[in-house]
Amino acid sequence: MSETRAGFIALIGEPNAGKSTMLNALVGAKLSIVTHKVQTTRGRIRGVLNVEEDQIIFVDTPGLFAPKRRLDRAMVSAAWAGAGEADAIVLLIEANKGLTGGVRRIIEQLKEQVSPHKPIAIAINKIDKVRYDRLLTLTTEITELHDFARVFYVSATREDGLDDMVTWLRKLLPEAPWLYPEDQLGDASLRSIAAELTREKLMLRLHQELPYQLTVGTDAWDDKKDGSARIEQVIYIAKEGHRPIVLGKGGQTLKAVGQAAREELADMLGHPVHLFLRVKVDPRWLDDGERYAEMGLDLPEG
């Protein structure tokens, strides 16, 4: 019998670099929510890919940026913790944005935060958005900054280049028993995934800063005898003035969010879903350890 191998691969990068899209493409399921807004992912989300005797646990980390608020600090801390604990790291860079100041800072911080012996690969993502000569120039610029183990050219949305990356990553896995059952795609509970789906729909409909000042929790989940599920969720907001924005005129925004989330949940679960949303003002949620724990984050001091 062949030896099994298992290990963790951290996906890091700037906000909106495509980490969540890549995770979902790699495991073949929607585990991490995706929006066009930055800082969508808050906690570390694990997705499992089994290939023959190997099990790769990909860790989708929050985007790395200069933190300003307490929640920001928790997200950045979670990202670096995920990188530090992994067997290898894949740094995603957007081909169309190139070597930004943020990417340069991440590369410098890698030298401080991560063991020099840990394999780090570059995945230049969104290659469908630039010409080939630009990719070559970008590769030269990146490799002059650090001695990366490999450079991959990928498109997470088109799933181009991912097989080559997986083949290389498999060689880095330590011999170990599998950490997750064969049929398990990730470590997030259904309650957590459901709450994140609703937060995704809110982020897609709301603008400016409000999406970053709310969170969603699944309060109740009741599987009915008729095969349907009744799910109750709470949308926590920090200010009373945010309530009419979340509700929308005549409650239309909240209704649209609920409908979109319900349809996607029903499709994911394979049975009808009755979703009930309510909005709760809690000015302390941004300092509430329980809310942070629900997001997979540690509450930072201060």
Instruction: Flag whether pLDDT at 218 surpasses 80.
Output: yes
Pair 235, 106 in one domain: no
Identify which has the larger pLDDT, 84 or 297. 84
Average pLDDT, the chain: 89
d(CA 166, CA 215): 33
Pair 22, 94 in one domain: yes
Instruction: Flag whether pLDDT at 71 surpasses 60.
Output: yes
pLDDT at position 36, please?
A: 65
238 within some domain = yes
pLDDT at position 2, please?
A: 65
CATH number at residue 234: 3.30.300.20
Main-chain phi, psi angles of 125, to 5 degrees: -95, 165
187-207 tens-digit pLDDT: 888 899 899 999 999 988 887
pLDDT at position 82, please?
A: 84
pLDDT band at 208 (very low <50, low <70, confident <90, very high): low
pLDDT at position 1, please?
A: 46
Do 106 and 12 contact (CB within 8 A), yes or no? yes
Ramachandran sector of residue 199 (left: φ over 0; alpha: ψ -120 to 50; beta: rest): alpha
Average pLDDT over residues 111-126: 92
Pair 53, 152 in one domain: yes
Average pLDDT over residues 23-46: 77
pLDDT at position 302, please?
A: 58
Which residue in the block uniquely carries the two structure tokens 């495991």?
A: 27
d(CA 158, CA 179): 29
Residues above pLDDT 70, as percent of the chain: 94
Pair 97, 225 in one domain: no
Instruction: Flag whether pLDDT at 211 surpasses 90.
Output: no
Pair 140, 40 in one domain: yes
Do 82 and 51 contact (CB within 8 A), yes or no? no
Main-chain phi, psi angles of 37, to 5 degrees: -85, 145
Pair 23, 136 in one domain: yes
What is the number of domains present in the chain? 2
182 within some domain = no
d(CA 43, CA 62): 6
pLDDT at position 103, please?
A: 94
Q: Residue 194 sits in which domain range?
A: 190-294
State the burial class of residue 171 (Cβ atoms within 10 Å of its Cβ: 0-12, 13-18, 19+).
Answer: exposed
pLDDT at position 283, please?
A: 86
Pair 224, 261 in one domain: yes
SS (H, E, C) 75-133: HHHHHHHHHHHCCEEEEEEECCCCCCHHHHHHHHHHHHHCCCCCCEEEEEECHHHCCHH
Instruction: Flag whether pLDDT at 175 surpasses 80.
Output: yes
257 within some domain = yes
d(CA 60, CA 187): 12
Pair 101, 204 in one domain: no
Average pLDDT over residues 33-61: 82
pLDDT at position 84, please?
A: 86
What six digits make up the tokens of 182? 């064969």
With b for 16 or more beta-carbon neighbours within 10 A and e for fewer, the 10-38 pattern comes to bbbbbbbbbbbbbbbbbbeebbbbbbebe
CATH number at residue 28: 3.40.50.300
Pair 106, 214 in one domain: no
